[in-house]
Amino acid sequence: MIGLLVITHSNLAGEFLRAAEMIVGPVPSAEAISVDRSFSLDTAKDLLAKTLERLNTSGDGVLILTDMFGGTPTNIAADFLEAGTVEILTGVNLPMIIKFVSARQTMSLEDLSMTLKQYGQQNIIRPADFLDDQGERAASS
**Across the beta sheet with 3-9, what order do the strands follow?**
30-35, 3-9, 62-66, 86-90
Mean pLDDT, all residues of the chain: 94
Q: Which of 47-51, 94-98, 118-122, 129-133 has the lowest mean pLDDT?
A: 129-133
Domains of the chain: 3-130 (3.40.50.510)
> How high is the pLDDT of residue 39?
85
At residue 125 the predicted structure's pLDDT band, cuts being 50, 70 and 90, is very high
The model carries a pTM of 0.92
Q: What percent of the chain has a predicted confidence (pLDDT) above 70?
A: 96
